[in-house]
Amino acid sequence: MSEVLLGREPVREAVRPPLIELAGVEKVYRTGKLEYPALRGIDLSIADGDMVAIVGPSGSGKSTIMNMITGIDRPTAGTVTVRGERVDQMSEEELAIWRGKHVGVVFQFFQLLPTLTALENAMLPLDFARRGSKRERRERALQNLELVGIPELADHLPSEMSGGQQQRVAIARALASYPTLVIGDEPTGNLDTVTAGEMFELLARVCEEGATVLYVTHDLELAKRAHRVVTIRDGLVVDE
């Protein structure tokens, strides 16, 4: 199974080193003369191989934390370290290469390219990283579409798929490059209860095989299935 999903054996160490460390992270968004503090000083450490759910009310800063960790956005103050590297200090080119090698992201609203088929979308991270031959990339993407239960949609465009099917493609794409870190912003939010459970089991298997899985969710039952639950409110960690 580990060869199917991540291409490596499960990590079984009892004590895992930190993979993600946020120290004093602040983020202030500015619109004209108005300022909105999204994060007010986040300190958060996540162990390698852990599965962590981040919960909290809308506007609490959950998605902003995800954007800090992936380098999609940068902090106003504080440091963001992932795999021992200062993500907040990387250039855009360095971030693109780093994400392509180490990170799989499942966005809340899919972010599929509308002119590409499901198969082509699932291949994108491998294409960007130039990992393997074109045939190997295709085989890997087909394998992931089968894992998420939609191999028959390989040649379909996003406009020909339901929201749930598009989310499955997004998950398949996130697993493309054997990521050590899988991040999801409401990764099962557009799926029915049964399919959401199946997708969560897939993410759990990825975690068991050594990846770190971090996801934002409004579903408290889904959050309880993680190893840790971190509650964010008004830009601060208020409970674990």
State CA 191 to chain mean position distance. Answer: 17
pTM of the model: 0.82
pLDDT recorded at residue 2: 46
In this structure, the chain runs to a length of 240
Q: Is 238 helix (H, G, I), strand (E, B) or coil?
A: strand
Q: Could you tell me which residues come within 8 angstroms of residue 53 by beta carbon, excluding any fewer than 6 positions away?
A: 215, 216, 217, 222, 223, 224, 225, 226, 228, 229, 230
Q: Is 2 helix (H, G, I), strand (E, B) or coil?
A: helix
Question: Could you read off the pLDDT tens digit of each residue along the chain, which spans 240 residues?
Answer: 444 566 555 545 455 668 999 999 999 999 888 999 999 999 999 999 999 999 999 889 998 999 999 999 999 999 999 989 999 999 999 998 888 888 998 887 788 999 999 999 999 988 877 788 999 999 999 999 998 889 999 999 999 998 888 888 998 999 998 889 999 888 877 778 887 888 788 888 888 888 899 999 888 888 999 999 999 999 999 987
pLDDT recorded at residue 1: 44
Listed in sequence order, the DSSP H helices in the chain are 2-5, 62-70, 92-102, 118-129, 134-147, 163-174, 193-208, 220-223
The CATH fold of domain 2-239: Rossmann fold (3.40.50)
pLDDT recorded at residue 218: 85
Q: What is the residue extent of each domain of the chain?
A: 2-239
pLDDT recorded at residue 7: 59
Q: Strand 18-31: give its sheet, edge to edge.
A: 34-47, 18-31, 77-82, 85-86
- Comparing CA positions, the residue from 92, 93, 66 lying closest to residue 80 is 66
Identity of the amino acid at 86: R
pLDDT recorded at residue 15: 58
Under DSSP, the state recorded for 14 is: S
Contact 104, 182 (CB under 8 A): yes
How many distinct helices (H) and strands (E) make up the chain? 8, 10
